Amino acid sequence: MIRIFLLAIGVLCSLTTAAQFSDSVHYYAKYASTGSINQTNDGRAYLLNNVAAFKVSKKKISLNADAAYVYGAQNGAQTNNDVSAGLNFNIYRTNRRFYYWGLATYDRSYSLKVNNRAQAGLGVAYDILRTPTAMLNVSDGPLFEYSDLIRDDTIPEKYQTVRNSLRVMYKFTIHNIVVLEGSQFWQQSLLKGDDYILKSVNSVSVKLRSWLAITTALNYNRINRTGRENLLVNYGITLEKYF
């Protein structure tokens, strides 16, 4: 997991050196570790969710890398062993509220019965709301996907499809202390009506310092093709730095 993230950072940094849109370069790094433990006389359950992100932004382009790892177990039986990593870029016009995006992602998930899945696509996005304390964005575009899944818990399946990826993203900051942010994805296959992916990532953070916050996160995922879903509710800390 660490190797994937470091590789992503290296790719982004090399791309940034080549993208001479502006002399001003800004960086952002974030790491969040959240989890939960429940122990009773009848059993024990725990969940650990680690997320890391790195961003390089210039006047007309921004490049992003992110990675996540979720592990969980209940009464000694594994429930989650999920890995995801992604690279994406935004290219801005003179009006920065409208921009183009591209991405490439990889993930595997024990809980969702995904052995391997890779996606790549392009699209457009628009900031419906953009102020120093509030942001609401919608984006849309086609994705090509290759998947290696397990259907009905036992049947392996490898297939390819093209999806439409619709995302709604928000971030609101209250008195520079409380931060609410999230992304909601609907990825519908253009080839099969019953093949869709739902993903919802939401969090509430209370800042203790400019770089440190207590965070509660709620994540939901569903892959209709495998009939699997998961709901993760956990809490922990977030470290972030602009430089």
Give the mean pLDDT of the chain.
89
- For residues 206 and 41, give the distance between their C-alpha atoms in angstroms, rounded to a whole number: 33
Report how far residue 71's alpha carbon sits from residue 10's, in angstroms, rounded to the nearest whole number. Answer: 26
Mean pLDDT confidence for 222-228: 94
pLDDT at 56: 95
Average pLDDT over residues 194-214: 96
pLDDT digits (tens, 9 = 90+) for 184-201: 999 999 999 899 999 999
The Cα–Cα gap between 222 and 200 comes to 9
pLDDT higher than 70, residue 146: yes
| pLDDT at 152 exceeding the cut of 80 | yes
Report which of 76, 71, 61, 143 is spatially closest to residue 111, judged by C-alpha positions. Answer: 71
Q: Which residue has the higher pLDDT, 23 or 183?
A: 183
pTM above 0.75, yes or no: yes
In this predicted structure, what is the pLDDT of residue 20?
A: 40
> With 70 as the cut, is the pLDDT of residue 240 above it?
yes
In angstroms, the CA 188 to CA 184 distance is 13
The two tokens of residue 235 are 């809490």
Burial 8-47 (b: 16+ CB within 10 A, else e): bbeebeeebeebeeeeeeeeeebebebbeeeeeeeeeeeb
What residues form DSSP beta bridges with 32?
51, 238
Q: Which amino acid is at 172?
A: F
- Extract the tokens encoding 60: 């007309």
- pLDDT given at position 25: 87
pLDDT at residue 73 greater than cutoff 50: yes
**Residue 46, Cα to own-chain centre: how many angstroms?**
22
Task: Output the pLDDT for position 23.
Answer: 55
Handedness of CA 203, 29, 168, 117 (dihedral sign): negative
Q: Which band of pLDDT confidence, cut at 50, 70 and 90, is reported for residue 38?
A: confident
Domains of the chain, residue spans: 2-242
Q: Per CATH, which fold does 2-242 belong to?
A: Porin (2.40.160)
Tell whether the model's pLDDT for residue 153 goes beyond 50.
yes
Predicted pLDDT at 24 = 82
Cα–Cα distance between 212 and 205 in angstroms, integer?
A: 9
pLDDT at site 14? 46
Average pLDDT over residues 212-237: 94
**Is the per-residue pLDDT at 67 higher than 90?**
yes
Query: Which residues have C-beta within 8 Å of that of residue 187, sequence separation ≥ 6?
Result: 143, 163, 164, 165, 166, 196, 197, 198, 199
